[in-house]
């Protein structure tokens, strides 16, 4: 079960702390480029862990119909307010859902077939495994449909180097341990897992076939270091351009803050 209170605690400040900062805009633009190519106007898609609704708003503006889910009432409240302000509430249906419990969810809004599904910025790292979720999605998404997942991986050189430089050995190696405790705003904690691309592919087999893999935050710093891009914007803008060129090349598909894995329903 995903801890809703941890995400409720950061909902009000999430956009100011990440979405509206340079790093957040660069990282999200990389994901949007792939989502724009994966889904077409008029299609119905499912979002897992919608947060404050930025991705749902983007796709709704492009003419898609989005069922946007999140476990956090606080996040959903922010997302709904943004959709209403943008006049997009008719294209987005918000639903409270723990992604780990999709398999047994009976809400008609979750009935398929969907054209595809997506999850951005590590929402699914709160699950110890994504096997059951993969089966539940396969039952709701049409054959040939697309699943785009942005997952925090186990090997983030930026994060490891930063914490080692500050004498924080346990934090520097936290991604290498399963079910580690992570701090999420206001002193709250939750358990997090960091599957590699190979592990994620194994979890989603045999219903899903991997089509694409790219680093998100390969050369750029991890999200908790967004303040660095504000301090040195020109240097990090250069890194952002380089990342666009190399994000699909090894080793940057493995060495990153997040990776974007795109699958096709068999």
With left for phi above 0 and alpha for psi between -120 and 50, is residue 99 left, alpha or beta?
alpha
Q: What is the DSSP letter of 19?
A: I
Q: What is the pLDDT of residue 107?
A: 93
Per-residue pLDDT for 4 more than 80?
yes
- Structurally, at CATH architecture level, domain 4-265 sits in 3-Layer(aba) Sandwich (3.40)
pTM above 0.85, yes or no: yes
Inter-helix orientation angle 54-61/73-85, to 10°: 30
pLDDT tens string 18-71? 999 999 999 999 999 999 999 999 999 999 999 999 999 999 999 999 999 999
Q: What is the pLDDT of residue 79?
A: 98
Q: Collapse the DSSP code of 47 into the 3-class scheme (helix H, G, I; strand E, B; otherwise coil) and give the result.
A: strand
Q: Omega of the bond prior to 3 within 30 degrees of 0, cis?
A: no
Q: Do the strands 92-96 and 208-216 form a parallel or antiparallel pair, or are they unpaired?
A: unpaired
Per-residue pLDDT for 203 more than 90?
yes
Where are the domains positioned within the chain?
A: 4-265
Residue corresponding to tokens 């009000």: 12
């Amino acid at each position: 079960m995903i801890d809703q209170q941890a995400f409720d605690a950061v909902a009000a400040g999430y956009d100011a702390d990440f979405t509206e900062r340079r790093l957040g805009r660069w990282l999200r633009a990389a994901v949007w480029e792939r989502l724009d190519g994966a889904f077409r106007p008029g299609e119905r898609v499912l979002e897992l862990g919608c947060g404050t609704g930025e991705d749902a708003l983007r796709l709704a503006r492009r003419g898609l119909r989005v069922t946007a889910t999140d476990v956090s009432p606080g996040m959903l409240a922010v997302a709904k307010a943004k959709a209403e302000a943008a006049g997009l509430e008719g294209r987005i249906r918000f639903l409270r859902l723990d992604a780990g419990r999709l398999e047994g969810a009976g809400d008609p809004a979750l009935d398929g077939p969907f054209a595809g599904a997506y999850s951005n910025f590590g929402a699914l790292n709160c699950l110890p495994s994504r096997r059951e979720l993969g089966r539940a999605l396969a039952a709701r998404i049409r054959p040939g449909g697309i699943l785009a997942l942005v997952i925090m991986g186990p090997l983030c050189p930026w994060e490891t180097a930063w914490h080692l430089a500050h004498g924080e050995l346990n934090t520097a190696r936290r991604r290498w341990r399963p079910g580690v405790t992570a701090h999420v705003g206001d002193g709250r904690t939750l358990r997090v897992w960091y599957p590699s691309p190979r592990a994620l592919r194994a979890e989603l087999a045999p219903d899903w076939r991997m089509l694409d893999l790219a680093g998100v935050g390969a050369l750029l710093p991890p999200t908790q270091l967004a303040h660095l891009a504000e301090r040195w914007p020109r240097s990090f803008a250069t890194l952002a351009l380089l990342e666009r060129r190399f994000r699909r090349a090894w080793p940057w598909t493995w060495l990153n803050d997040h990776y974007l894995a795109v699958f096709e329903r068999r």
